[in-house]
Structure 1
Amino acid sequence: MTVGYMRWLADLERPDLAGDPETGVVDIGFVPDGVRLPGLASLVQRLAARFGDAQGSPLRVTVVVTAALDAASAVYANADQAETALAAALRERLSAVDGRTGLLLVQTLPYADPVSAQAVEQANAAVTETATIAGTVVVPVHRVADLDVLTAGEDFPAVAAALEALGRRDRVGYLWNRLLDLAWAHWQALAPHLATAPKVLLTDLDGVLWPGTVAEDGLPDALTVGGTMTQLGHRVWRQHLAERQRRGALLAGISKNDPAEAQAALDRVDPAVPLAELWAAPDVDKTAATTWALSYFDQIAAHHAVFIDDNPGQQERLRAAYPALHVPAVAATPLLVTDLCRQLHPGNDQPPTTSDLQRTRYYQARRSGELVPEIVCIEDPTDEETLRRLAQLHARTNQFNMTTPRRTADQLAALVTDPAWSVLAFRVTYHGSDLADEIIGCAEITYPPDGPARLDSFLASCRLLWAGAQRRMFGQAQAVVLSRGIKELTARWQPNGRNETYAQWYAHQEWAEPVPDGDGWSFTGSTVTRDGESPDDLLTVMTRYLDATLQPAPEKPTATRLRDSDNATEVLVPGGPATLGLRAEDRAVARSVFGLDPIGEDPRPVDLTPFWMDRHLVSRDMFAAFLRTADREEQAAAVEATAEQYVLGPVGDVQPALGTGQLPAVVPWAWAQRYAQWAGGRLPTEDEWEFAARGTDGRWFPWGSAMPAPPRCLARGSALHTITANCWGASPFGVEDMTGHVWQWCSGSYRDHPQYRGGDTRANTYFLRTTVRPLESAEHCGHLVGFRVVRDAAPEDQSER
């Protein structure tokens, strides 16, 4: 493989090996009739075969050689209105070839002599405008070749022989090199149609990002080695990488350097290159590091990655280890940045999405170990940004893609309005980070008049976030179908050469037995899913684990009393020694089931004194009674702060909105504190809340080991209910409704925000565990937070019944 690549590269530079065009990836033709450029065709086909993706039948490409149009002669002759005539001729030619070609490329006019240079420039502006309006791709020939190069391209061997007979071998080399540049320009125009832009760029540091060697030259000398032009090339390359990163590519460094020195050098370059990860060590094995990098970036395929290194021997080792990896032929210092850039896919000119802009920050946040993602399903989205992101996923995603439709934003918008379809966008919220929410997957479901629903498309970003993300998405898609009363769903997986990952994943879902169907597989199964976030078999494993480890304490009679201030029922929580949080084995089970690492849930011993806690949440009727004791200004402030859950009546009167009096009071933390003080108590500490919710036997849920399900907890997305309804599943001390209704305020703070516990109606099973500590403020997440009151117990209270 290594020898083959170097021979291929050397052959590309040798004019005596123009040979017959290679086939299999592109089929190139030229217009107008009679134009033949075999040397150019051969080089373009070699580049496409090397760097493109086989798509089955060759891509048919028609190249309009603008210089060969009759109207081009008038441009070179500086005739009046020549550019207008050329544009008209080009429109006519495009009209004639459109419809019988796969892809149209339009060449600009090459320069010929200084006299006609301005006319050529004006004509090329008209050519570019005409081609753009027609929706064709422009090849900027004038930037890389002159008229002599195109002329030589018709019969290069004959031109070369004539020049050599005159002793002009230097001219032969010049024409061939310019023809090679012209081929690269055509490949850059073809690349978006024959290959996907690299998603990961793995780069060496020394000799690539800067001219010197940190280990030998030290800092800052290593960054300023060489002349002005040498430094400029590296600076341009760093800017190029930064732009790639801004548009969604991931950058990672692999370097034989001390990691601290390498990071110090990265911090000093301008602009700083935003690496998602750095693998550096004096003896690092770059082949092994590439394996680590592809795994770190969620098992991304090698053909979606590029490795840039200025060491030819290292380049060959990487090509041998990863034949699908793109390793540009980079000359040793000085860095030839133009040559390097043209060997890469040109990327795309679409505006970056939220996902593109924060992709690097996602991996940096994940590396910190405090990132908890949660997926939410959005049905039939209509906003432009979401539809554009879904279209981007359709265009880019191959590895986790059930089918092969490449729908545009307009096509998806049309399906959104069609009652026979559901368009689902899967949005992830990152708890524990300031990363913005983003769309990471989508699905389209159609509902035929007869028979089961059909999952027409189902795909997710190759950055799959965490184990089980696809299964959560699939469970939510099943729930959408079930909500229409349809109990059967079919799907058809079609291979595209890269989505074997999907096939392997689907085969392990046990949703249905696959049936061969032409070139794919068909699946049919139930839409019923027990939990939209975790596979049934994993939930079963977790239930069995909890059943085996739970050691219920002996039941004791519950001591209760009424509070005079608001008539709330209080339950005595006896206190005592306990271990809160999760044991190491509990964390391992949670991690394997949910694919999320419990953060802030390390085991901690406590010894609590007895306290009284409200059996039920504080209701809106109760909170309104408190507000009626406040002055008018405070009442108005409370109504505003609680999103108008209450109505101001005559002076001194406050009432809950009609029919909502027995719903839980959802209020800001400060107002919950004020109510608790008015009632003669306080908010519970985190330790008191968790102890009251789970007792001393290590349970994950207040009621024991069973998974949350109605009537214990409402289904995801359900509305609020009264504080005394659906309160089955009390804690060991008889406290009701501790998880799954509204989050509940605690008195302390955590990570610089008021803490709250318990999960609301929109939380999935992971967040309904009694040990969960939310990583960011409730306001940031839009959580529903209510509260209950606690009061310290006197010694004599232990005997109350």
Structure 2
Amino acid sequence: MKLYSTVIGISLLAACHTAAPEQQQVAVPPVIAQLNPMVLIPGGEYEMGADDNTGMPDEYPRHAVKIDSFWIDEHEVTNAEFRAFVKATGYITTAERPISKEEYMRSLPPGSPEPDSSMLLPGSLVFTPTDHAVDLNNVGQWWRFELGADWQHPEGPGSDINGKDQFPVIHVSWEDAQAYAKWAGKRLPTEAEWEFAARGNLKGQPFPWGTELPQVGKAKANIWSGHFPYENTESDGFYNIAPVKSFAANGYKLYDMSGNVWEWTADWYASNYYNEVQPGAANPGGPDTPYDPADPNSPKRVIRGGSFMCSDEYCRGYRVSARMKTTPESGLSNLGFRCARSVR
């Protein structure tokens, strides 16, 4: 089905409670191992959550977490990698499939009007910058649902990804990311693993590189420079998505753990989860029951890392502790993923 949710939780289609597939004991396809080598993250303990008082409420309380060693992709999964998966399997992504009226209506409050038939056609949400200042509480002013938008046509039917093999794949749902990971013999990282890797072996620092703001000195991440969503000065060299590895790696030699595109994790999202997890928990896998008080009828998965749309004015998601969420069916023009693998 297509996307009906933004990264801040506006959702019209509820998630299905589908368990994550088990990790497959298969070799990583040679093309994937070549295009995106994995990095071994040594196990350890760290303080998960906001390191100061600038975080959002769901980033507290800070709590100790123990993580076993694991592997994680060096960079976000690219168009070239995803194309190899589709070519090998014939997989059709969520954004490329129509949905039924019944599926759509199940997520709406009783008595809601039936959708226009066009809303049941394949498509996805595309970022559309404005030419003037807008109310930043109204995300609908810079998102549009575009029929025919998908990973191969990121702006709609007239667009393509020619020459963009090294750009992160976008418009992929959680289901799509899971399917790719299973094919590649990998899995999605847990939220705790993702943050541990993003910190790059630094302690108590807000960014993968330390304390300096992303655009101070040499640009350290692909985020929004200027006034969102109508003026981007491109001081980091990019208006939209950047090719992977365009910025320096963190201490674990991982790229784009801040900015560029949001990344799916394996975990359900619950706003109060940090209050429930036991301090010192080993390899926590998120809550059993998802809950977003701003949109309680739509279960969501955690996404991490921020995107090219993040700025101090809107969405400081490029901080290592920042949490965001969206429905598993969602595909966005600023949402991708990277994979992990357990150490056997």
TM-score, normalised relative to structure 2: 0.57
Aligned equivalent of 1:549? none
Aligned equivalent of 2:194? 689
Contact 1:578 1:605 in 2 (8 A): yes
> Which amino acid letter does the alignment assign opposite residue 723 of structure 1?
V
TM-fit CA distance, 1:715: 4.2
Report the Cα distance in structure 1 between the residues aligned to 2:82 and 2:337, rounded to whole angstroms.
Answer: 11
- What percentage of residue pairs aligned between the two structures are identical? 32
Once the two structures are superposed, the pairs formed by residues 360-399 of structure 1 within 5 Å of their partners are none
Change beyond 3 A, Cα 1:702–1:637: closer
Report the Cα distance in structure 2 between the residues aligned to 1:636 and 1:689, rounded to whole angstroms.
Answer: 24
Report the Cα distance in structure 2 between the residues aligned to 1:780 and 1:672, rounded to whole angstroms.
Answer: 11
Aligned equivalent of 1:661? 165
**Equivalent residue for 1:711, pick from 194, 197, 219:** 219
Report the Cα distance in structure 2 between the residues aligned to 1:604 and 1:684, rounded to whole angstroms.
Answer: 19
Matched, 1:629 2:97: no
Matched, 1:768 2:318: yes
Matched, 1:674 2:179: yes
TM-fit CA distance, 1:783: 6.2
Matched, 1:602 2:61: yes
Report the Cα distance in structure 1 between the residues aligned to 2:8 and 2:250, rounded to whole angstroms.
Answer: 27
**Equivalent residue for 2:37, pick from 556, 569, 574:** 569
Report the Cα distance in structure 2 between the residues aligned to 1:756 and 1:669, rounded to whole angstroms.
Answer: 10
Contact 1:616 1:723 in 2 (8 A): yes
Which SS does the other structure have where 2:308 is aligned?
coil
Contact 1:578 1:696 in 2 (8 A): no
Report the Cα distance in structure 1 between the residues aligned to 2:83 and 2:93, rounded to whole angstroms.
Answer: 12
TM-fit CA distance, 1:636: 7.2
- Name whichever structure is richer in helix by fraction: 1
TM-fit CA distance, 1:661: 1.7
TM-fit CA distance, 1:569: 1.0
Change beyond 3 A, Cα 1:664–1:579: same
Which SS does the other structure have where 2:89 is aligned?
coil
Once the two structures are superposed, the pairs formed by residues 63-74 of structure 1 within 5 Å of their partners are none
Change beyond 3 A, Cα 1:779–1:763: farther
Once the two structures are superposed, the pairs formed by residues 220-231 of structure 1 within 5 Å of their partners are none
Give the aligned CA root-mean-square deviation in angstroms. Answer: 3.0
Matched, 1:746 2:286: no
Once the two structures are superposed, the pairs formed by residues 40-439 of structure 1 within 5 Å of their partners are 431=8
TM-fit CA distance, 1:776: 4.9
**Structure index of larger Rg:** 1
> Which amino acid letter does the alignment assign opposite residue 657 of structure 1?
I
Contact 1:565 1:679 in 2 (8 A): no
Report the Cα distance in structure 2 between the residues aligned to 1:430 and 1:777, rounded to whole angstroms.
Answer: 8
Higher relative contact order (CA 8 A, sep 6+): 2
> Which amino acid letter does the alignment assign opposite residue 757 of structure 1?
R
Report the Cα distance in structure 2 between the residues aligned to 1:787 and 1:689, rounded to whole angstroms.
Answer: 11
**Equivalent residue for 2:243, pick from 715, 722, 727:** 722
Once the two structures are superposed, the pairs formed by residues 547-566 of structure 1 within 5 Å of their partners are 564=30, 566=32
Which SS does the other structure have where 2:301 is aligned?
strand
Contact 2:241 2:334 in 1 (8 A): no
Matched, 1:785 2:335: yes
Report the Cα distance in structure 1 between the residues aligned to 2:39 and 2:78, rounded to whole angstroms.
Answer: 17
Aligned equivalent of 1:757? 304
Deviations 1:235-294 (Å, cap 9, x if unpaired)? xxxxxxxxxxxxxxxxxxxxxxxxxxxxxxxxxxxxxxxxxxxxxxxxxxxxxxxxxxxx
TM-fit CA distance, 1:646: 2.1
Once the two structures are superposed, the pairs formed by residues 467-546 of structure 1 within 5 Å of their partners are none
Number of aligned positions between the proteins: 219
Which SS does the other structure have where 1:672 is aligned?
helix
> Which amino acid letter does the alignment assign opposite residue 671 of structure 1?
D
Report the Cα distance in structure 1 between the residues aligned to 2:339 and 2:167, rounded to whole angstroms.
Answer: 16
**Equivalent residue for 1:612, pick from 44, 60, 71:** 71
TM-fit CA distance, 1:431: 4.4
Report the Cα distance in structure 2 between the residues aligned to 1:781 and 1:683, rounded to whole angstroms.
Answer: 16
> Which amino acid letter does the alignment assign opposite residue 212 of structure 2?
A
Q: Which runs of 4+ in 1 moved over 6 A?
A: 778-781
Contact 1:579 1:696 in 2 (8 A): no
Report the Cα distance in structure 2 between the residues aligned to 1:664 and 1:778, rounded to whole angstroms.
Answer: 18
Report the Cα distance in structure 1 between the residues aligned to 2:335 and 2:44, rounded to whole angstroms.
Answer: 28
Report the Cα distance in structure 2 between the residues aligned to 1:702 and 1:754, rounded to whole angstroms.
Answer: 22
TM-fit CA distance, 1:601: 3.3
Change beyond 3 A, Cα 1:578–1:637: closer
TM-fit CA distance, 1:724: 2.5
Change beyond 3 A, Cα 1:638–1:782: closer
Which SS does the other structure have where 1:602 is aligned?
coil
Report the Cα distance in structure 1 between the residues aligned to 2:31 and 2:189, rounded to whole angstroms.
Answer: 18
Report the Cα distance in structure 2 between the residues aligned to 1:784 and 1:430, rounded to whole angstroms.
Answer: 9
Deviations 1:15-68 (Å, cap 9, x if unpaired)? xxxxxxxxxxxxxxxxxxxxxxxxxxxxxxxxxxxxxxxxxxxxxxxxxxxxxx
Report the Cα distance in structure 1 between the residues aligned to 2:7 and 2:252, rounded to whole angstroms.
Answer: 34
TM-fit CA distance, 1:788: 0.8
Which SS does the other structure have where 1:605 is aligned?
strand
Change beyond 3 A, Cα 1:732–1:610: same
Report the Cα distance in structure 1 between the residues aligned to 2:320 and 2:164, rounded to whole angstroms.
Answer: 27
Contact 1:601 1:773 in 2 (8 A): no
Change beyond 3 A, Cα 1:636–1:673: closer
Contact 1:628 1:635 in 2 (8 A): no
> Which amino acid letter does the alignment assign opposite residue 163 of structure 2?
G
Gapped runs of 5+ residues in structure 2? Answer: 1-5, 12-27, 97-121, 125-148, 154-159, 225-231, 233-238, 270-290, 292-298
TM-fit CA distance, 1:746: 0.2
Change beyond 3 A, Cα 1:637–1:698: closer
Which SS does the other structure have where 2:30 is aligned?
coil
Contact 1:662 1:723 in 2 (8 A): yes
> Which amino acid letter does the alignment assign opposite residue 722 of structure 1?
P
Report the Cα distance in structure 2 between the residues aligned to 1:781 and 1:762, rounded to whole angstroms.
Answer: 15
Which SS does the other structure have where 2:310 is aligned?
coil
TM-fit CA distance, 1:677: 0.8
Aligned equivalent of 2:107? none
Contact 1:572 1:612 in 2 (8 A): yes
Report the Cα distance in structure 1 between the residues aligned to 2:187 and 2:7, rounded to whole angstroms.
Answer: 31
Deviations 1:769-796 (Å, cap 9, x if unpaired)? 11011155488895611111111124xx
Change beyond 3 A, Cα 1:782–1:630: closer
Report the Cα distance in structure 2 between the residues aligned to 1:714 and 1:787, rounded to whole angstroms.
Answer: 16
TM-fit CA distance, 1:711: 2.8
Deviations 1:597-656 (Å, cap 9, x if unpaired)? 44333212111110111111110011001001123xx34766556723327xxxxxxxx6
**Equivalent residue for 1:645, pick from 151, 170, 193:** 151
TM-fit CA distance, 1:699: 1.3
